[in-house]
Amino acid sequence: MIHLRTRRDPVLDAAKGFLIILVVLGHLLARTDPSAAVATHALITGIYAFHMPAFVFLAGITSKPSGIGRRCAQFLTLLAVFQVAYFLAKHLLGSDESFPWVTPAWLLWFLLSMTFWTLLTPVIVRFPRASLALSVAVSLGAGMVDAVGYPFSLSRTLVFLPFFVAGFTHGRKVLARVAGLGLRGRAVVAGAALAVFAGLLTWSPDHNWFFGSKGFDVLEVSDLSGVAHRAVLTAGLLVLMPRKPTLLNRFGQRSLSIYLLHGFVVLLAAPYVLVMAKDNVWLAVVMLGFLTAGIAVLASMQPVHETIGRIGAICMPLVERLGGAAHASGTDSATAAVGSGDAASQRATVGAGSPHR
């Protein structure tokens, strides 16, 4: 297994680590009755308002237009393996659902979406400005077509596409500007993010609006405002991240394993979470916080992370023979999008109109 030597961005890793914590906590909270208590409703609103767009934006930053075949093969291999694993886990817990042949199981939609976005990177490199403008138009248009929904992760792929393209074309520049902000500038951005969050709580929107899988006819909203408030919240996240390595950085570098494995714990704990929330919602929130931390620590352990990498690399010999590729790693490519960022610094920064060299 070959590991590339690269320079990691501590802010980027910390942001990914914080977001993967929100993903786990959000999935646990969703197993309660979020609308039954102010605490859970506020947390769900705050988490789902921006965590996936921000995650996709960071995935765009760490993506690159080379080694596409290897990376797509890793995404699809992990999708196939965990599609079966989650299906079996649900049946062991009493589900009678049929196997979802065309719809990624639950959280696995991200792997299929990443495959589609990765395939687009050569086009984005060639036409960065046009790609960004077109991605916004496609995202808006996706909400107008009833046929766009869960199958093949099509709705989320199109709805979140602008965030991936923006991260790919402007992400490094955004990170550089955030790093250059003084205390006053960071305070302004953080204040704007808090104001947006307060506005969302006041509005109390339907949480389906945040999932990227429903059309405008169901949600009765405009995606333009969504792009704006998600951008502000993402900027607020970046300015609040620590500039020196912390435990969040480890979570960010190994977030692929956390992302893929935490769902099994969520499924197992779901009945107990609901009972706990009904008895004492505040105690439930605290306990879910501890459970989230435990999941992140265990799933980010090096042996676990390496095992996920090996699973993703099962098809690599075949891909290398077909594509003539000589360098592949079980974690360097797949986790660049979801977690480690090991290969992130290998690609040049993309400006608005300056393709990779």
Q: What pLDDT, in 10s, does the model give residues 331-344?
A: 444 444 454 433 33
d(CA 326, CA 317): 9
DSSP of 152-189: GGHHHHHHSHHHHHHHHHHHHHHHHHHHT--HHHHHHH
> How many domains are there within the chain?
1
d(CA 34, CA 200): 15
Q: What pLDDT does residue 337 have?
A: 47
Q: What pLDDT does residue 355 have?
A: 33
For 84, the token pair is: 């079966």
The sign of the torsion formed by the CA atoms of 294, 63, 234, 30 equals negative
| Residue 3, in any domain of the structure | no
In Å, what is the CA distance from 18 to each residue of 42, 52, 277? 18, 12, 24
| Residue 102, in any domain of the structure | yes
Secondary structure of residue 351 in the 3-state scheme:
strand
d(CA 354, CA 335): 26
- Tens digits of per-residue pLDDT, 254-299? 999 999 999 999 999 988 887 887 778 888 888 899 999 999 999 9
Nearest to 287 by CA among 2, 54, 39: 39
Please identify which residue in the block is written with the tokens 């265990």. Answer: 298
| Residue 347, in any domain of the structure | no
Cβ atoms of 165 and 124 within 8 Å: the answer is yes
- Tens digits of per-residue pLDDT, 148-176? 567 778 888 888 898 899 999 998 888 88
For 354, the token pair is: 């300056």
| Residue 2, in any domain of the structure | no
Three-point CA angle 203, 263, 103, nearest 5°: 80
Residue type, 67: G
d(CA 102, CA 265): 24
* Mean pLDDT, the chain, whole residue set: 77
Nearest to 239 by CA among 144, 296, 174: 174
How far the first Cα of the chain sits from its last, in Å, is 27
| Residue 349, in any domain of the structure | no
d(CA 122, CA 110): 20
Residue ranges in the chain whose pLDDT is less than 70: 1-7, 34-36, 142-149, 200-233, 236-237, 240, 323-357
d(CA 2, CA 257): 19
| Residue 331, in any domain of the structure | yes
Phi then psi for residue 354, to 5 deg, are -115, 105
Cα Rg of the chain, angstroms: 20
Q: Quick one: 129 exposed, middle or buried, by C-beta within 10 A (0-12, 13-18, 19+)?
A: exposed
Write out the residue range of the structural domain in which residue 178 sits: 10-342
Cβ atoms of 33 and 299 within 8 Å: the answer is no
| Residue 109, in any domain of the structure | yes
| Residue 348, in any domain of the structure | no
The 10 Å Cβ neighbour count of residue 169 is 26
